Chains A and B, each alone.
Chain A
């Protein structure tokens, strides 16, 4: 070990001055910008993002009615700034929901919760005009009965997907599914239940086997999953679900600690009320992740305690839970001090101070629209983007207008959001916009000038 350390020291010494020289000379030109919620395995964008790719639900009577990948130019220096520059329909409606890049960021995987199809888009050949590269149509069969591919998350050379449901009963029992970047099935990892803990420890009341989001902390070998509901619930009218006591029992109440390297579940944590999106801290000493619970309206912290054990704790209230604000997407700042929390039902975005991760305090709020779901911010936090759609059966239908189904861009100065542009996805004939992912020419060795 001593020999290795010495070699490393020499190695660093040799190139440190060179790196420093170049870094100083370029410091003023470099401004990192990227989503703060991406896989740590992901290639990062340097500078201004050029595009936002929006995975969009098709709506009957709106344009061609199909699910589609919509590309919006978001570079202020472009003469197409604020405009839809490409729209690629995939044929039919699949309940377009989440999407994610491969680790080399050349391909965008976008999945459908209803059809369980996965569409793989090439976003590197022409970042301004993605093309459909491949469609995976046998996800359910290959995975052994997993339904509703949700999170498409990059691992080295592969994608791991969370399911939401299963083909046996369309309930919430589900699994994680691995594919190669080329779209070849690799393995299925079922989420532990009371009947089959799969080697995990049940730490509380629940072991429901449900799934939703997935994030990792590679430095701790941690993979963390959350839980939502099965197809019986997510493809049913929201009012119908909420009026059905039995259906309301069919929501996830757990998060699972996994061994990232072994892909084995280690511990099931109680996090009641449908914990959804997971965002992990970036600082190498911050061994924790946040989530929000849709039904109980709280910010939860999953953290490593002093004994090295992973625990979960509610650390903040989101609005007035009795009014069912329904927290949805969240986004953490690169310095781990701020957390955007959207509440879908009242269309509000809320900024929480999470400097003390055990005491999340709301410090700002702004109404974005009739409903608001996803939020994505640039790496430096100065640009924040929002979309409106949650699920086709849950989305509001009125009042019609530009605040119903939209993509909105804002500047954030640390204190307040200032709108820069907005697109009405109904008026544009596009549909209901959901997940946003950033693209940039620079990622693929293409200069912006070549546009």
Chain B
């Protein structure tokens, strides 16, 4: 608990704070999102590949995990205390999971992936424990990590996902990171079709985007 308090304090002190106002993803939308198929999601480039390890300890290529499905992939780390950061990503992805379970035909086309950018702490075992809080037994949600910074760095670079470890005064890693929330919507051809951050991530818009791609 003491370590967690320390982590939270460091994060609040060192990064831009959005925690005092809950992100829209925690509530209901204040507008009617554009109808499914009424708009275009232009390609934002190729989704990068990389070497990852799932919560069972099995190694995969990221593209192998994409499996020609529509993929919703969020970068997280399990110790993230910023309510509008990783917890928001997991919260909204859990809502997406619930909706997909209600629409199994669509659900079969979609895979959720939570990828940790903290290989030092987020081992497969830790990811498995984290997944217990979010993943339903019959859903397709993969929780993956990497073996080390060596495998992680090119993935972060490929997705332009910036994160900065926060260090203590003695130079040791505090366990917290500065980062900007990013969740990526990837189509069956492994192209990024939308990027969501804290101000933009909401189950209704994400689901409409998924349906727009699926259609």
Contact = CB atoms under 8 A, between A and B. Distances in A.
A204 interface: no
Nearest to B179: A104
B4 interface: yes
Interface string B111-135: 0000000000000000000000000
Q: Is the interface of A mostly helix, strand, loop or mixed?
A: mixed
A180 B44 contact: yes
Interface stretch (B27-35, B56-64, B66-74, B140-148): B27-35
Contact of A18 (B5, B24, B42, B160): B5
B164 A156 contact: no
Given A15-B81, A23-B12, A45-B16, A103 B197 contact: yes
Say which size band chain A's interface belongs to.
35 or more
Interface in B21-64: 21, 24, 26, 29-31, 33-34, 38-40, 42-45
Interface string B163-202: 0111000000000001010100000000010011101100
B139 interface: no
A44 B44 contact: no
A373 to B, nearest CB: 28
A35 B42 CA distance: 31
Nearest to A259: B34
Contacts of B30: 219-220
Interface in A20-54: 21-23, 25-26, 29-30, 32, 40-41, 43-46
B153 interface: no
B203 to A, nearest CB: 9
Contacts of A29: 13
Interface string A1-18: 000100110011001001
A248 interface: no
B21 A44 contact: no
A180 B199 contact: no
A104 B162 contact: yes
B33 A18 contact: no
A445 B14 contact: yes
Contact of A186 (B15, B43, B166, B178): B43
A442 B14 contact: yes
A22 B2 CA distance: 12
A262 interface: yes
Nearest to A42: B16
A444 interface: yes
A258 to B, nearest CB: 11
23 contacts: A4-B95, A18-B81, A25-B9, A26-B12, A30-B17, A44-B18, A46-B13, A104-B162, A156-B197, A156-B200, A157-B160, A158-B44, A158-B195, A182-B45, A184-B45, A186-B42, A186-B43, A186-B44, A187-B40, A221-B29, A263-B39, A445-B164, A445-B165
Interface of A: 4, 7-8, 11-12, 15, 18-19, 21-23, 25-26, 29-30, 32, 40-41, 43-46, 103-104, 106, 156-158, 178, 180-182, 184, 186-187, 218-221, 259, 261-264, 284, 442-445
Given A15-B83, A22-B12, A186-B44, 16 more contacts: A4-B98, A19-B8, A19-B12, A19-B81, A23-B12, A26-B13, A41-B200, A104-B180, A156-B200, A184-B44, A187-B40, A218-B199, A219-B30, A259-B39, A262-B34, A262-B38
